[in-house]
Structure 1
Amino acid sequence: MSADAQGDFEDEDLESSFLAGDERALEEAYRRWAALVHTLALRSLADVGEAEDVTQKTFVAAWTGRTGYDRAKAPLPAWIVGIARKKIADSHAARARVRELQDRAIAAGLFDEPIHDIDLADRLLVADEIARLDPQSQQVIRLAFFDDLTHVQIAERLGLPLGSVKSSIRRSLERLRRRLEASYVRR
């Protein structure tokens, strides 16, 4: 294995060292081709965070799957780019699954608009817990938190006493808190 003082490998030595599990070869491969992988991912996904994830996943997959690398079929950089393309496709597929779940949740009336800022799993968990409340409590919670109405506005809209609206919100939030705490403990 020949490497110069800077740690740069000759191409053939890099491939051999990479296959042999030399971590310096992984570092060198990352130094040489991470920018290329990141650029491919960024152009395809148009999201810096996802591009960074794809870059990391690509090199982890290359390292853990290095025994599957056959230098007779492709040079190491081409093999790494092939892995990157698969990871980019996986990211697009994951996006499509999230969009499908969002569309189903919107169609089911769980949400009024696509979810952006809150983790989808958390949002679906909250929606499921709200669905378990009695119908009047569901209505009060939705008006308070999704329509952003005040207690007085909810009482007027539903024809309920103000004290009943406040009690309903307090009981519902306490019930949701207990259920969500239990759900997070199970995760």
Structure 2
Amino acid sequence: MSARPDGDAEQAVADFVAGSEDGLAAVYQRWSPLIYSVALRSLGDVTEAEDVTQKVFVAAWQGRARYDPTRAKLPTWLIGITRNKIADAYEKRGRDRRIRETLIANTEPVVVESETGRVADRMLIADEMAHLPEVPRTVLRMAFYEDLTHAQIAERLQLPPGTVKSHIRRSLIKLRKGLEARADAHES
């Protein structure tokens, strides 16, 4: 789809508000670079900026009936939504940091006394990983054994970056629970 000339901006907005998918496409094409650049400048992370941009346009599409062109131009309204989504991203960062810190603080350090202990730990982890579904297991291996970034994994597996992050987070939780269950059973 080619960019609409400035004279068609009002029509794109009207089509968008009316619920036309072509209107949504035109509005996205016209203002997504602005939204993305604001998000990227604020967050400093490409993946988060992409996620925020997507969330802004989803929220705008779902809330288009509340848009009032007499109160603000569409780009101004979109920037308002963007500020809210950026605030949500910062809140999520803080929540993730607190969870990570809590896990670190509540996890006893594992002292491995010998190479035999390290091999046994690796075997336990490999066994727990074998219980994961194929895609999450592949994502986890790429992240930890191949030391790939979320973006690199997403590109290789043709998955959205947010999906990669979710697979890693959920898989680590499952691994931790499985290893804790084994430790509890061993102590009993």
Which category of TM-score, normalised to the shorter sequence, fits these structures? 0.5 to 0.7
Q: 1:21 aligns with which of 19, 27, 30?
A: 19
Displacement after TM superposition at 1:110 (Å): 5.8
Alignment of 1:29-40 (within 5 A): 29-40=27-38
Residues 47 and 110 of structure 1, relative CA distance in 2, 3 Å threshold: farther
1:125 is aligned to 2:141: no
Displacement after TM superposition at 1:22 (Å): 1.8
Displacement after TM superposition at 1:89 (Å): 1.2
Displacement after TM superposition at 1:78 (Å): 0.5
1:105 and 1:111 in contact (8 A); partners too: no
User: Size of the alignment, in residue pairs?
Assistant: 130
Larger CA deviation: 83-92 vs 102-111? 102-111
Paired position in structure 2 for 1:77 = 75
1:101 is aligned to 2:150: no
Amino acid at match of 1:124: I
CA separation in 2, counterparts of 1:41 and 1:7? Answer: 24
Instruction: Provide the secondary structure at the position in 2 that maps to 1:71.
Output: coil
Q: 1:99-120: CA deviations, max 9, x gaps? A: 11111110111678xxxx5623
Q: 1:142-162: CA deviations, max 9, x gaps? A: xxxxxxxxxxxxxxxxxxxxx
When the two chains are superposed, the root-mean-square deviation of aligned CA atoms in Å is 2.5
Residues 134 and 14 of structure 1, relative CA distance in 2, 3 Å threshold: closer
Residues 69 and 132 of structure 1, relative CA distance in 2, 3 Å threshold: same
Paired position in structure 2 for 1:47 = 45
Identity over aligned pairs, percent:
38
CA separation in 1, counterparts of 2:83 and 2:3? Answer: 30
Amino acid at match of 2:12: L
CA separation in 2, counterparts of 1:18 and 1:123? Answer: 41
**TM-score when scaled to structure 1?**
0.61
Q: Pick 1 or 2: higher relative contact order, CA cutoff 8 A, min separation 6.
A: 2
Instruction: Provide the secondary structure at the position in 1 that maps to 2:182.
Output: coil
- Unaligned regions of 5+ residues in structure 2, if any? 111-142, 145-167
**TM-score when scaled to structure 2?**
0.60
CA separation in 1, counterparts of 2:28 and 2:175? Answer: 41
- Unaligned regions of 5+ residues in structure 1, if any? 139-187
CA separation in 2, counterparts of 1:77 and 1:127? Answer: 45
Q: 1:59-103: CA deviations, max 9, x gaps? A: 111112100111121111101111111111111111111111111
Q: 1:123-153: CA deviations, max 9, x gaps? A: 2322222222246958xxxxxxxxxxxxxxx
Structure with bigger gyration radius:
1
